[in-house]
């Protein structure tokens, strides 16, 4: 008999809520907020960076002050997201992100309609709960895709992302 408290897709659902949070922040005027995400080498953790683009261009990965990094394993550890709760709705996540990282949120207030449109399209394709990945072990194609769902669905690179600077 299945355990009603165990959701084998919890990690995917958590990742998707964070993806939707970024979409909500775009709608609130933070169009230059990016999400760069992928899977750890073991495939057990979804990792992400959320930050503000520089004049429509993604900054060099790991070398920019206006980004936050995290990894989630999909388990029940409440410390996985230091600034929010694991089961927070995207609207709550958005409010908590802005409160925790006001400098990133403010820097992301630069209009970026091309990226916001790409992101809306990606979100629509990701339903109901796919996790966006730009990288994972042995991935040679720099085009983003969805982890463990939507097999064979690749997206074009988002506007402003130079794979040579990130991958």
pLDDT in tens, 6-23: 665 666 788 899 999 999
Backbone φ and ψ for 117, nearest 5 degrees, come out as -70, -45
Instruction: With beta carbons less than 8 A apart as the criterion, state whether 90 and 21 touch.
Output: yes
pTM as predicted: 0.87
Query: What pLDDT, on the 0 to 100 scale, is given for residue 90?
Result: 96
Q: Looking at the predicted structure, is the pLDDT value of residue 83 above 80?
A: yes
Cβ atoms < 10 Å from Cβ of 70: 16
pLDDT in tens, 51-82: 999 888 887 666 667 888 777 776 666 667 88
Query: What pLDDT, on the 0 to 100 scale, is given for residue 35?
Result: 94
Mean pLDDT value across the chain: 83
Give the CA distances from residue 35 to residues 70, 77, 116, in Å, rounded to whole numbers and listed in that order: 11, 22, 11
In the 8-state DSSP scheme, what is residue 59?
P
Burial of 122 (0-12, 13-18, 19+ CB in 10 A): buried
- Domain map (residue ranges) of the chain: 10-166
Question: 30 or 69, which is more confident?
Answer: 30
């Amino acid at each position: 008999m299945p355990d009603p408290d165990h959701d084998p897709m919890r990690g995917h659902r958590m990742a998707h809520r964070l993806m939707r949070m970024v979409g909500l922040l775009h709608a609130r005027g933070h169009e230059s907020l990016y999400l760069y995400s992928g899977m750890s080498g073991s495939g057990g953790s979804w990792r992400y960076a959320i930050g503000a683009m520089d004049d429509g261009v993604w900054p060099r990965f790991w070398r920019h002050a206006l980004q936050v990094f995290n990894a989630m394993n999909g388990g029940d550890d409440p410390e996985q997201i230091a600034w929010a709760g694991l089961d927070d709705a995207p609207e709550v996540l958005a409010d908590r992100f802005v409160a925790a990282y006001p400098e990133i949120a403010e820097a992301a207030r630069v209009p970026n309609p091309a990226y916001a449109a790409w992101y809306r399209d990606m979100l629509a394709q990701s339903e109901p709960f796919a996790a966006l990945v730009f990288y994972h072990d042995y991935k040679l194609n720099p085009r983003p895709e969805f982890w463990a769902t939507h097999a064979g669905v690749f997206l074009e690179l988002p506007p402003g992302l130079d794979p040579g600077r990130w991958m």
